[in-house]
């Protein structure tokens, strides 16, 4: 740093020098502002006003340097220590930071997550109130933060890949509101310890192969909580470990640079060169930002004095980035001590004001509820004098609580209701009102509640006539995808074996050659990055179809789907949308790893994503159309044994839609309601033929989607008629069949209409054995189903 003086005094450039000096002092102010936010934030946790804190202290100088190169249209995909960067780009403020620390659910106070995420979790809106895409080139974009370590990596690859797509695909050049010729860079931040996660390595490999404008900043303070980096990273250095990924002439790979996190000018120069390279040439870049410190330790959960030596702590004090920046400013005559002290004082004052304002704003509505509750209880004491003594005891605990919670108000009201019963009157009414309000505050937006919800897409039935050609299911899909790519330039599809050979079941056969390798492309065997690529493309306004070749392998890509996509609308309060479509295939096939039906795992880990389980390919095409008309994410599981079944090609293949959450009655009956989906329906139809001579009249219902499930209670209507019901699927016991059972029996109240015990038929607990007999004895078969149906009629 000491050798950078010559950069400050270019002859004849006094005006530029003054601007530079002002910029340096502003950066110093932002760094001090952020440091004070961390210090006061920790105190708020330790005094009990906040639950938990994790802060960005020690990384301030690196982040103000990084922020200089972040432009409108760029995307940040980071983690929970980026507060300085957000302050520097003008997106976050200390007051908003404390509002989030207090979990303030008011979006005016905490605009990033409505108090649903912990501190330093940011977001930016990508659609307007009507669900239309904003002009993302004018926004300093942030992919909504999440806490799992390295979870930001897969989607960072996708955000950068979108720039590659916008630059290289002619059909996308028209969408000027989404990209400026692919010039946008994804800034990805990660702690050094988290580079040990598989997410990091898979993403680095995928980005190095694809050559996308991804710039990764690795914050290295020497530890991962208490574990030193020498115990986590080969050679004790992520940049040294990544040496083989470095780009050389004639190869792909990364531009890698190692900088010191206290060296303000050194970082500015390195960042300028590397980020420009990424922006102009789409070469991915990694900055190993070394020699950072963590003045307060990892988090409020513990003290770093327990695991750092006295020598290490002293080393960190000497290399504190604020101390080093201040020394450099003074040495180079950019300011005197008095000026810097005033900056520090102003920063402390502004942070305290932000903290106090945030706390008052957070408490205001709760205090109003406390006052209203107090008034109602005093009136109830007058109205129910025989309970006055008990009611009077409730008031002091509530009104003397200096830091009341919403739950304290409800708990007090409910105690009063228990005391007074039917006489609670206005107290009961207020309690009910608050329950409804808090349900909106804390339980809304898991699914899209706006105009572009998939549930608002009207159904359009397939038009099939006697002249409609009969063809294999995979040919239906091939026709569908051909029309889709011809009509919707935003659609991109990618996956293993998807491009050149047209997918393993030929749904995309010949389409890469017709529509281009950039739009229909092969990927490496890296399901996690395939999901990340789809997430990033979708966040940027494109319509990716990201394929997982077999449903069994969805587990590889499950983490970003459950932690990122499924919770996205909830944790942003409906501000950010990710309309990815995950395409896969599963169910009946002969083999342990290609016959998966882990629907229970999927529906319980992916609440927030529509789960579509079509029985045939016409139905699948309609589901694709429905999802593509919405802003919602969805998983479509095509039936493996349906690709060669004969179907008629609808005349309106490109416009037909399927209403999500609405079951279809395939066969009407009056004795037993049978509920199932996908490939199992064909096994059930075989069973019904076997018992046709018994005169048993069964109503066969295809649920079509598991999420959402039977939103109009059509299954209940059937049960009211038959008074018998059975749920059949090929998931393990307690999986999707139990889920459907719960939905109908408990949520819909189906138990009231039963004449006999309800049944479930599922696969066995183990994976299916290999071969035809393995399939027959591992999953529901027609004879087993027929026997249970006969037994139900005997009961």
Spatial distance between the Cα atoms of 478 and 463, rounded to a whole number of angstroms: 18
Reference 665, options 698, 697, 716, 701; nearest CA is: 701
Spatial distance between the Cα atoms of 758 and 264, rounded to a whole number of angstroms: 70
Contact 640, 586 (CB under 8 A): yes
What letter would DSSP give residue 305? G
Three-state DSSP state, 585:
strand
Spatial distance between the Cα atoms of 282 and 423, rounded to a whole number of angstroms: 70
Contact 154, 210 (CB under 8 A): no
Reference 85, options 238, 217, 282; nearest CA is: 217
Burial class (CB in 10 A: 0-12, 13-18, 19+), 11: exposed
Spatial distance between the Cα atoms of 627 and 219, rounded to a whole number of angstroms: 39
User: What CA–CA distances, in Å, run from 164 to 134, 173, 181, 529?
Assistant: 20, 12, 9, 15
Contact 139, 188 (CB under 8 A): no
User: What CA–CA distances, in Å, run from 363 to 112, 227, 398?
Assistant: 19, 39, 14
β partners of residue 665: 701
Q: Which of 526, 594, 610, 730 is catalytic?
A: 594
Spatial distance between the Cα atoms of 412 and 431, rounded to a whole number of angstroms: 10
Q: Mapped to the 3 state alphabet, what secondary structure does 35-81 carry?
A: HHHHHHHHHHHHCCCCCCCCCCCCCHHHHHHHHCCCCCCCEEECCCC
Q: How many Cα atoms are found within 13 Å in the side-chain-facing hemisphere of 26?
A: 14
Reference 597, options 443, 733, 436; nearest CA is: 733
Spatial distance between the Cα atoms of 729 and 605, rounded to a whole number of angstroms: 18
Most distant pair of Cα atoms in the chain: their distance: 101
**Helical (H) or strand (E) element with 322:** helix 321-331
Spatial distance between the Cα atoms of 267 and 217, rounded to a whole number of angstroms: 11
Query: Which pair of structure tokens corresponds to residue 393?
Result: 């005891």
Reference 440, options 96, 95, 99, 107; nearest CA is: 107
Q: Cβ–Cβ contacts within 10 Å for residue 441, how many? A: 17
Q: Which of 44, 518, 527, 647 is catalytic?
A: 527
Question: Cα–Cα–Cα angle for 139, 143, 147, nearest 5°?
Answer: 145
Residues 6+ apart with CB under 8 A from 765: 732, 733
Residues 6+ apart with CB under 8 A from 18: none
Reference 285, options 160, 178, 169, 154; nearest CA is: 160
Question: Cα–Cα–Cα angle for 293, 299, 300, nearest 5°?
Answer: 130
Sheet containing 759-761: order of strands: 664-667, 698-702, 672-676, 725-728, 759-761
Quote the radius of gyration of the chain (alpha carbons, Å): 30
527 belongs to the catalytic site: yes
288 belongs to the catalytic site: no
Q: Is the dihedral of CA 111, 116, 119, 123 positive or negative?
A: negative
Which residues have a catalytic role annotated?
527, 594
């Amino acid at each position: 740093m000491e050798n950078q003086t010559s950069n400050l005094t270019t002859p004849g450039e006094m005006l530029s020098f003054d601007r530079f000096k002002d910029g340096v002092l502003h950066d110093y102010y932002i760094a001090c502002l952020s440091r004070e936010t961390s210090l006061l934030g920790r105190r708020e946790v330790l005094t009990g006003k906040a639950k938990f804190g994790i802060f960005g202290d020690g990384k301030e100088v690196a982040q103000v340097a990084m922020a200089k190169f972040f432009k409108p249209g760029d995307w940040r995909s980071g983690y929970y220590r980026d507060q300085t960067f957000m302050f520097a780009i003008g997106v976050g403020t200390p007051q908003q930071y404390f509002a989030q620390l207090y979990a303030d659910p008011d979006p005016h106070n905490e605009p990033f997550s409505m108090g649903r995420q912990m501190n330093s979790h940011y977001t930016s809106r990508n659609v307007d109130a009507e669900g239309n895409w904003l002009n993302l080139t004018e926004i300093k974009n942030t992919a909504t933060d999440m806490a799992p370590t390295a979870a930001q990596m897969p989607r960072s690859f996708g955000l950068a890949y979108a720039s590659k797509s916008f630059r290289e695909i002619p059909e996308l050049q028209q969408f000027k509101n989404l990209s400026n010729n692919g010039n946008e860079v994804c800034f990805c931040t990660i702690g050094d310890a988290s580079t040990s996660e598989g997410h990091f390595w898979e993403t680095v490999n995928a980005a190095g192969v694809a050559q996308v404008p991804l710039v990764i900043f690795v914050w290295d303070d020497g530890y991962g909580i208490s574990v030193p980096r020498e115990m986590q990273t080969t050679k004790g250095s992520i940049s040294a470990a990544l040496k083989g990924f470095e780009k050389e002439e004639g190869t792909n790979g990364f531009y890698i640079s190692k900088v010191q996190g206290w060296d303000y000018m050194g970082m500015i120069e390195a960042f300028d060169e590397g980020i420009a390279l990424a922006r102009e040439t789409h070469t991915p870049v990694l900055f190993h930002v070394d020699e950072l410190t963590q003045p307060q330790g990892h988090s409020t959960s513990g003290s770093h004095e327990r695991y750092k030596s006295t020598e290490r702590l002293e080393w960190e004090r000497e290399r504190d980035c604020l101390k080093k920046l201040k020394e450099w400013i003074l040495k180079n005559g950019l300011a005197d001590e008095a000026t810097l002290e005033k900056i520090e004082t102003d920063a402390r004052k502004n942070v305290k004001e932000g903290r106090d304002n945030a706390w008052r704003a957070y408490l205001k509505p709760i205090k109003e509820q406390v006052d209203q509750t107090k008034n109602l209880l005093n009136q109830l004491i007058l109205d129910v004098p025989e309970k006055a003594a008990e009611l009077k005891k409730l008031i002091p605990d509530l009104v003397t609580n200096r830091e009341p919670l919403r739950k304290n108000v409800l708990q007090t009201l409910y105690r009063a209701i228990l005391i007074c019963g039917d006489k609670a009157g206005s107290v009961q009414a207020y309690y009910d009102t608050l329950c409804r309000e808090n349900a909106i505050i804390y339980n809304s937006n898991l699914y899209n509640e706006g105009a572009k919800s998939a549930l608002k897409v009207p159904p359009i039935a397939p038009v099939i006539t006697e002249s409609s050609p009969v063809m294999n299911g995979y040919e239906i899909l091939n026709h569908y995808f051909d029309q889709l790519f011809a009509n919707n330039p935003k659609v991109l599809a990618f996956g293993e074996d998807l491009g050149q050979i047209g997918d393993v079941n030929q749904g995309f056969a010949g389409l890469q050659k017709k529509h281009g390798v950039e739009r229909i492309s092969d990927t490496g065997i890296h399901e996690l990055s395939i999901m990340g690529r789809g997430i990033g493309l979708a966040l940027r306004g494109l319509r990716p179809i990201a394929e997982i070749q077999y449903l069994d392998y969805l587990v590889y890509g499950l983490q970003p789907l459950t932690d990122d996509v499924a919770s996205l609308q909830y944790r942003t309060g409906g501000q950010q949308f990710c309309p990815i479509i995950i395409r896969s295939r599963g169910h009946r096939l002969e083999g342990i790893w290609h016959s998966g039906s882990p629907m229970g795992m999927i529906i319980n880990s992916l609440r927030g994503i529509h789960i579509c389980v079509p029985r045939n390919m016409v139905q699948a095409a309609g589901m694709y159309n429905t999802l593509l008309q919405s802003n919602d994410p969805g998983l479509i599981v095509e039936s493996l044994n349906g690709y060669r079944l004969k179907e008629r090609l609808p005349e309106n293949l490109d416009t037909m839609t399927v209403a999500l959450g609405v079951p279809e009655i395939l066969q009407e009956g009056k004795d037993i309601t049978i509920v199932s989906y996908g490939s199992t329906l064909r096994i059930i139809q075989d069973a019904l033929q076997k018992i046709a001579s018994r005169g048993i009249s069964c109503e066969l219902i295809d649920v079509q989607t598991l999420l959402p499930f039977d939103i109009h209670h059509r299954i209940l209507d059937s049960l009211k008629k038959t008074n018998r019901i059975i749920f059949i699927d090929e998931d393990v016991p307690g999986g999707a069949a139990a889920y459907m059972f719960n939905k109908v029996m408990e949520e819909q109240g189906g138990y009231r209409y039963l004449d006999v015990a309800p049944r479930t038929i599922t696969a066995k607990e183990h994976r299916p054995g290999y071969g035809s007999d393995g399939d027959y004895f591992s999953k529901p078969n027609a004879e087993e189903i027929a026997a249970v149906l006969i037994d139900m009629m005997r009961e």
